Amino acid sequence: MNRDNLIEKLKMISVKDKSLKDLYEEISMCCMDEIKSQWNKKSGRNAYYLSVEFLMGRMFFNNLLELGVLSEAKKIFAEKGFDLNRFEEIEDAALGNGGLGRLAACFLDSAAGLGYPLYGYGIRYRYGLFRQSFENGSQREEADDWLKWGDPWSVRKDAEKRIVHFADMDVAAIPYDMPILGKRINTLRLFQAEGSKEAEKISEYLYPADDTEEGKLLRIRQEYFFSAAAVGELIDRFVKFNGTNFEKFPEENVLQLNDTHAVFSVAEFLRILTGKYKLSFGKAVEIARETFNYTNHTILPEALECWDAELVAKILPDIAVILKRLQVFACREWQGRGCSKEERIAMSVLKDGRFAMANVAVFIAKRINGVAEIHSKIIKERLFSVAYKYYRNKFMNVTNGVTQRRWLMLCNEELSALYDRNLGKGWREDMEMITRLCFNHAGNIAEFIGVKKAKKAQLAEYIAKREKIQLLPNAIYIAQVKRLHEYKRQLMTAFAILRIYYQLKEGKHPEFTPMVFIFGAKAASGYRRAKAIIKYINEIAKLVNSDQDVKNKLQVVFVQNYDVSYAEKIVSGSDVSLQVSTAGFEASGTGNMKLMMNGAVTVGTMDGANIEIAERAGLQNNYIFGATVEQLAKLENNYVPLEYIRDYPEMKKVTDTLIDGTFSDDGTGEFNELHTALFQGASWHAPDHYFVLYDLESFVQALFAVNKDYCDAESFAHKQLVNALNSVFFSSDRAIISYAKNVWKIDK
Ligand code: 26V
């Protein structure tokens, strides 16, 4: 890449009379011209990451940073009278939903950054994750029309279109290639469905509702669509250059299934090898087993996909046949190994008339991994315990990571500059270097305090602009930002806030340092309880923020439309990271890592990667509370929330606000339903299934401990800095090196 050349070209761009969009497109295209001249051609052994989500966020600033021209460009355009930061108005490419999609984006970034050939395959949704706003405290959803800003960072490749066959229609899969910049330029290839109105629906929305048959069919079509396009392309390319000696296929191609959404690619692979190329089924399976790997990202039963075999057969008859053959084939193998009937059922590909996609992945994958130590352990011991007994060597762990380029260098120039000043710029290539910064050095701590203060002020300014709410200055900023889900226990935080609120009103904590709770979360469209929790928190915010008794002491803000760009502000401008999931449920979490990297302390449970965070940064520098997986397992049938809270009268007062009219749910009955779920349960779950009340008291204590410790500014900043410096392990560079060496066997 010729940086000087690019800078010269940027200088020539005129800003006069141009709309924001036109200017954005012109600058982006100018960079793309430079990129195109260097875009690597594929060769050798490559890894492919198949994912239904890629949550890339805004590409503009990231790409300019990678091209090494970001600060120069800011100067150039400032001189022309244009503030480049105005492009912050440009919406994110939100083609993903949460952690799984953002992880895919971080992995692509790290692979390119390190120089590994890793290519992404996915779907180019017309509309990404909905845009969220609040109307009277309730979530409102609006289609995310991300293309209204154009898509200058992608190149449409009509010449490489593929046809994907369904029983009732043929669909064109048009590739859009997005360069992923780093030491090498890799590609994220997203397919757009075209050909007819029906065909276009396939790439219209991310996760269309699947509560009807039609919805399920659409989901199946989406999954098969991009899986088949990807596998078809890889096989064709292989044949073109190597002929049909498919034994060599795994030498050149290794595929990573990002959860089960791309598992149809396995069936498609077997279909093509046995159908078009006439390999025996056994041989095809053998080759598939050298080619595919599988990462599990959740143990929640509702997220483990099972597709009705008849539905699949309706639109993909050949694929249904292949999966049934795979079941027969697998059964033979299991019988040969002496599995019991129960064991065979547990591992079955076809169960009760449904294809268990995770079991297909487990049977075929060469390597299966969870995304944090504890999660990988749970997979082995619980979720796939039978498979673990027979295929022990397949199982491993790769703890997640996040890219420090976006989550430190881009979102926290101030902390990065602190590292530059004290260590030189070498850490930008070799992050390990930051551990050399002395966290006991008073000068460093003072500098860090300055950085945090600046980032908090920026966050406050941003929230003021977006939400029209002025954050309390000189307060502790506490963030819980993630998808809204019962297991993540935003409801527990809501109760904790009320506990603190009532105590403050009673004048119990005269020394209390003001606390600001910042929530960011979207609730899935059909997830009623999650939506009720949003409304409840907004009601609490209304009460607390307008109460003169606690004014300047406590504040609650639920930001609208939390997305990658918002995350960049919040993770860098917060003091405390809330990671309070029920032990055993959060596979890893990655927001926890982003906040840690920016020097937030964690108030969290022994769950997911929190455990590894506390291990690395020290228990004394974080606030770990709540029941462990083992404790919860022992408790299972002896926990009766109604009895439990008798010992905690303050808790009753708080939970009663769901039913005593303190807050209005606008007559929907949704608060009452939350109360019922806690104390009576429902047909499908026990009361307080996620142990919200069980962990509430220790959570409140942890928050008070933070409040007390924060009074000693130096010692608290010391804890924060120790966290930031120990976040090196949670760089996705480390995770990618582990995948590259232990799973993909690819070289730089
Ligand atoms: C499943 C479903 C099924 C119903 C339709 C919508 C939908 C959307 C997503 C999923 C799978 C979710 C899996 C997921 O996002 N897991 C998260 O993965 C992160 C990266 O590994 C990890 O940090 C989080 O702990 C984990 O929850």
Averaged pLDDT in 10-residue chunks for the chain of 748 residues: 90 95 95 89 88 94 93 96 92 89 97 97 96 98 93 96 98 98 96 98 94 96 98 98 97 97 98 98 98 97 94 98 98 98 98 98 98 98 98 98 97 97 95 91 93 98 97 97 98 98 96 98 96 98 97 96 96 98 98 98 98 98 98 91 94 97 97 98 94 98 98 97 98 98 96
Ligand 1: distance of its center to the CA of 388 in Å? Answer: 22
Q: Which atom of ligand 1 is nearest to the CA of 210?
A: 5
Ligand 1: distance of its center to the CA of 429 in Å? Answer: 30
Q: Which atom of ligand 1 is nearest to the CA of 375?
A: 25
Ligand 1 within 6 A of CB of 379:
no
> Tokens 């551990």 label which residue?
435
- Buried b vs exposed e over 144-175: b needs ≥16 C-beta within 10 Å? bebeebebbbbbeeeeebbebebeeeebbbbb
Ligand 1 within 6 A of CB of 103:
yes
What is each CA distance from 287 to 272, 290, 325, in whole angstroms? 12, 5, 16
Ligand 1 within 6 A of CB of 399:
no
Residue 619 has what pLDDT? 98
CA 158 to CA 549: how far, in whole Å? 64
Q: Are strands 186-194 and 118-123 parallel, antiparallel or unpaired?
A: parallel
Q: Which atom of ligand 1 is nearest to the CA of 371?
A: 21
Contact call for residues 705 and 623 (beta carbons, < 8 A): yes
Give the residue, out of 527, 588, 610, 732, with the most ligand 1 atoms within 8 A of its beta carbon, to mutate for a pocket test: 588
CA 211 to CA 353: how far, in whole Å? 18
The alpha-helical segments, DSSP class H, found in 428-549 are 442-467, 490-505, 528-546
Contact call for residues 370 and 378 (beta carbons, < 8 A): yes
CA 182 to CA 379: how far, in whole Å? 34
Q: Which atom of ligand 1 is nearest to the CA of 400?
A: 21
Ligand 1 within 6 A of CB of 295:
no
Ligand 1 within 6 A of CB of 101:
no
- Apex CA 457: angle with CA 453 and CA 463, to 5°? 145
Token pair of 53, please? 């989500």
Residue 627 backbone dihedrals phi, psi, to 5 degrees? -70, 145
Which residues sit opposite 54 in a β-bridge? 95
Residue 91 has what pLDDT? 81
The number of angstroms, rounded, from the C-alpha of 475 to the middle of its chain's C-alpha atoms is 28
Contact call for residues 347 and 330 (beta carbons, < 8 A): yes
DSSP codes joined into one string, 726-747: GGGGGBHHHHHHHIIIIII---
Ligand 1: distance of its center to the CA of 100 in Å? Answer: 5
Residue 442 has what pLDDT? 84
Ligand 1 within 6 A of CB of 586:
yes
Token pair of 347, please? 């591992």
Ligand 1 within 6 A of CB of 260:
no
The number of angstroms, rounded, from the C-alpha of 537 to the middle of its chain's C-alpha atoms is 23
Ligand 1: distance of its center to the CA of 94 in Å? Answer: 15
Closest CA to 295 of 323, 272, 263: 263
Ligand 1 within 6 A of CB of 400:
yes
CB atoms within 10 A of CB 673: 16
Positions annotated as catalytic residues are 297, 482-483, 488, 590, 594
Ligand 1 within 6 A of CB of 98:
yes
- Apex CA 324: angle with CA 319 and CA 327, to 5°? 130
* Residue bearing the CA closest to ligand 1, atom 11: 303
Ligand 1: distance of its center to the CA of 496 in Å? Answer: 26
Ligand 1: distance of its center to the CA of 535 in Å? Answer: 23
Ligand 1 within 6 A of CB of 645:
no
* Residue bearing the CA closest to ligand 1, atom 7: 303
Helix and strand numbers, DSSP H then E, in the chain:
31, 23
Residue 2 has what pLDDT? 83
Residue 290 has what pLDDT? 98
Ligand 1 within 6 A of CB of 205:
no
Ligand 1: distance of its center to the CA of 299 in Å? Answer: 9
Q: Which atom of ligand 1 is nearest to the CA of 608?
A: 25
Ligand 1: distance of its center to the CA of 300 in Å? Answer: 9
Ligand 1 within 6 A of CB of 590:
yes
Q: Which atom of ligand 1 is nearest to the CA of 101?
A: 15
Residue 92 has what pLDDT? 83
Ligand 1 within 6 A of CB of 97:
yes
Ligand 1: distance of its center to the CA of 52 in Å? Answer: 11
CB atoms within 10 A of CB 276: 11
Q: Which atom of ligand 1 is nearest to the CA of 305?
A: 3
Q: Can you give the C-alpha Rg of the chain in angstroms?
A: 26
Ligand 1 within 6 A of CB of 607:
no
Token pair of 203, please? 């790439």
CA 395 to CA 384: how far, in whole Å? 10
CA 129 to CA 120: how far, in whole Å? 19
Q: Which atom of ligand 1 is nearest to the CA of 102?
A: 20
